[in-house]
Amino acid sequence: MSLLLARRSPVTALAVCAAALALTAPAAAAPEPAVAPAALLPYQDASLPVPDRVTDLLSRMSLDDKLGQMTQIEKDALVPQSDLAAYRIGSVLSGGDSTVSPNNAQTWADTYDSLQRTALATPLGIPVIYGIDAVHGHNAVRGATLFPHDIALGATRDPALVQRIGRAVAEEVSGTGIDWDFAPCLCVARDDRWGRTYESYGETPELPSALTTFITGLQGDALGAGPASVLATAKHYLGDGGTAGGVDQGDTKVSEAELRAVHLPPFKEAVRRGVGAVMLSYSSWNGVRSHADRYLVTDVLKGELGFTGFVVSDWAAVDQLDGRSGFTGAEIRTAVDAGVDMVMVPHDYKKFLTLLRGEVTAGRIAVSRIDDANRRILTKKFQLGLFEHPLTDRSYTATVGSAAHRELARQAVRASQVLLKNDGGVLPLPKSAKLFVAGKSADDIGNQSGGWTVGWQGRSGPVTDGTTILQGIRAAVTDPSRVTYDRYGNGVDSSYRAAVAVVGETPYAEGRGDRPGGLGLDQEDLSTLARLKASGVPVVVVLVSGRPLDVSARLPDWKALLAAWLPGTEGGGVSDVLFGDHAPTGRLPVSWPRTSAQEPVNDGDGKDPLFPYGYGLTYSGTGPAPAPGTCTARMRTTSSWPGGHQAEVTVENTGSVALTGWSVDWELGGSRINSLWNGSLGTADGRVTVRNAAFNGSLAPGATASFGFTADGSAGTPAPHCAGS
């Protein structure tokens, strides 16, 4: 069996036979009885090249078949479910608040398989492709691993780590059957008042461009070329992070030169990586909606950049083009002619299909445009192996919320922490100290996970499984009884070594998250902080937020400030840094404003922020944290045997300037290195550090070097960190 076919469970014999034999059945007909087919049709032959299979299938499709492939509908809008087959629907999605009951991986997989079997009962047996917003893990599923949101991953400056996260997300998504992720968001956030700032990796095009490695993690080196390959989506094309005033779905009023310099590069890199889908933005560019902009979608994206995947609209965005509720034929024609291949309807699919059919039969939308859209969509379905293996690969279901994925998320949390202030070296905290913990986000998994967490806007409280920051603190100290917690700071006195205040934003997503009136702390946070200050105890602030907040007036009251962003379910990663198990290495992916009135403030604009882009302290002194983004390290096990293994590490200069040296370090995890070549070895406190040899320390941008070693013990899943010099 080829790797192309290895990612999903095989279709049942009944479905195969129905697809092969019922080629002339009417839209509402039941599938034919199961009878062994005499021979495969060309499009069913996995040994043929994908373009040949697509051509053959297109030749057999009616207009209704083709229009159905261009239609994506919300799962819960399917009433009855048989409409999926009757209307030849090509794609289903779960929106931000769409769920299953009970909400667990098994139910999601069962739901997916039920829908897929319905689709396979159509005459041609074309499988659906199912999309979902798994934007920081498989966040619709209770119990899934939730990673830090994108702004935190931008602070890591670690493309290799982000790729590993993409792979973990692909496994968890695959375990529920779903084959299409509406991620990553490649917006370049230029105004922190925008409610989607946390969905951006950072304010410069270089950061999201570098972290398109998430796409490779989701899809693999090539779509469908290995197990658990999930279609990635580059969104939102184009310029949604640059709207005037940071208004969601607003207008990006910039020149074409600025649009190309700031907002286009991440999409160009995504196309180079082979991203399968691109989702358009609700926003406009100089008054023209993205969903109506043929120049940007067809001429630039598909033509100039050479994008060969398919373009999908955002939720009901086509219905917004004329500013009135309800689809019109003119709106649909405008969007399809602009280059939209699949329309996220998401509810009134009957009206949408009627209008789309009318535009085509009247000649207002060319059949060639319909065929082009279908060719793009079907190509991805074939590449994913959906025709051969359309059902859930249950071998991945157990990976949802697995210990290995949670450990990876914890690593991402600690790598994303940005230390902004540390007067007197109050951090790291002694594990034996008597500590007071306060703040509304100290013991709240919902707050620390943010929006898009078991619901579109997210919510406070125990919304899913994980470790809160307070639980992480108690697990880290030598005596948990010496940690006192009160949300509001009541009961603090001078007997405590320090007071840790975990404050910041409560969950939100697009629209509701816009803050044009300012980015200050809320009244509860201010009152809590005032109580802690009055005690005279040194105050350490852990800021849980999806963007920089206006803190400059309060900063003198605090001994330390740690930007924890929205860390997700693994709060232990925050305590790893607070207590010095790992020194902070995160660097700001955005400029931190002095006041809300300074927004927008961005690197290179001549303004003087409170903390500049790229700022971050560490514990090794008062200087800045090392720059892990200048190089990356990839480790692979080349051989293993009982009690030992051999591995190779490749170091790559991912920066824009030459390196004169590099080092890589990781936790030994009980292993012991016996021999090492092409580098110098040092070990201390359970960690190993490898520095370059004399002959391989100088690396030009894009160049690589490697070293290898043998070791006792299990290879495990080491996570190298690379610091260039």
- The 10s digit of each residue's pLDDT in 549-583 is 999 999 999 999 999 999 999 999 999 999 999 99
pTM of the model: 0.84
pLDDT at 218 over 80: yes
Q: Which of 314, 319, 341, 514 is catalytic?
A: 314
Residue 35 has pLDDT above 70, yes or no: no
CA–CA dist 541, 559 (Å, integer): 8
Strands across the sheet containing 672-677: 631-641, 644-653, 704-712, 672-677
Which has the minimum average pLDDT: 319-323, 361-365, 636-640? 636-640
- Residue 716, pLDDT score: 60
Quick: pLDDT tens for 332-354: 999 999 999 999 999 999 999 99
pLDDT higher than threshold 50 for residue 24: no
User: Would you state the pLDDT for residue 176?
Assistant: 98
Main-chain phi, psi angles of 382, to 5 degrees: -65, -45
pLDDT at 29 (0 to 100): 36
Sign of the C-alpha dihedral, residues 595, 597, 599, 602? negative
pLDDT band for position 12 (50/70/90)?
A: very low
Q: Where are the beta strands (DSSP E) in 200-355?
A: 233-237, 251-252, 277-280, 284-285, 288-289, 310-312, 343-344
The SS3 of residue 14 is: helix
Query: Given a cut of 50, is residue 518 above it in pLDDT?
Result: yes
CA distance 498 to 538: 5
Q: Bigger pLDDT: 29 or 641?
A: 641
* Length of the chain counted residue by residue: 725
Whether 15 shows a pLDDT value over 50: the answer reads: no
**pLDDT at residue number 720:** 59
More confident residue, 649 or 159: 159
Question: Who has greater pLDDT, 480 or 687?
Answer: 480
Q: Given pLDDT bands bounded at 50, 70 and 90, which one contains residue 663?
A: confident
Which pLDDT belongs to residue 721?
Answer: 62
Q: Place 194 in a pLDDT band, splitting at 50, 70 and 90.
A: very high
State mean pLDDT over 659-686. Answer: 76
Do residues 601 and 607 touch, judged by C-beta distance below 8 A? yes
In angstroms, the CA 686 to CA 666 distance is 9
Q: State how far the Cα of 299 lies from the Cα of 293, in Å rounded to an integer.
A: 9
Q: How many Cβ atoms are within 10 Å of 43's Cβ, its own excluded?
A: 25
Pair 613, 203: CB distance under 8 Å: yes
Q: What is the mean pLDDT of residues 158-164?
A: 97
For residues 581 and 414, give the distance between their C-alpha atoms in angstroms, rounded to a whole number: 10
Residue 282 CA: distances (Å) to CA of 305, 593, 600: 21, 27, 21
- The pLDDT assigned to 145 comes to 98
Average pLDDT, the chain: 91
Q: What is the pLDDT of residue 388?
A: 97
How far apart, in whole angstroms, are the C-alpha atoms of residue 366 and residue 375?
A: 14
For residues 460-464, give the mean pLDDT: 98
Mean pLDDT of 430-456: 98
Nearest by Cα to 11 from 119, 92, 132: 119
pLDDT at 16 over 70: no
Task: Tell me if residue 588 falls in helix, strand or coil.
Answer: coil
314 is catalytic: yes
| Position 656 confidence tier, pLDDT thresholds 50, 70, 90 | low
Confidence of residue 55 (pLDDT cuts 50, 70, 90): very high
712 is catalytic: no
| 47-51, 281-285, 679-683, range with the lowest pLDDT | 679-683
Pair of tokens at residue 187? 């917006």
Q: Looking at per-residue confidence, does 116 or 2 come out higher?
A: 116
pLDDT at 18 over 50: no
Over its C-alpha atoms, the chain yields an Rg (Å, rounded) of 26
Residue 530, amino acid: A
The percentage of the chain sitting over the pLDDT mark of 70, rounded to a whole number, equals 90
The candidate with the shortest Cα–Cα distance to 182, out of 233, 230, 130, is: 233
pLDDT for position 641: 78
Mean pLDDT of 665-684: 77
Please tell me the predicted confidence (pLDDT) of residue 11. Answer: 46
Alpha helices by DSSP H, 201-323: 206-210, 213-219, 256-258, 265-272, 294
Q: Which pLDDT does position 711 carry in this prediction?
A: 85
**C-alpha dist (Å) from residue 660 to 634, 680, 698, 716, 722:** 19, 15, 4, 31, 13
Q: Determine the pLDDT at residue 13.
A: 32
Strands across the sheet containing 560-565: 418-422, 560-565, 539-544, 498-504, 435-438, 483-485
Q: What is the mean pLDDT of residues 380-384?
A: 98
Sequence-distant (6+) residues with CB within 8 A of 530 are: none
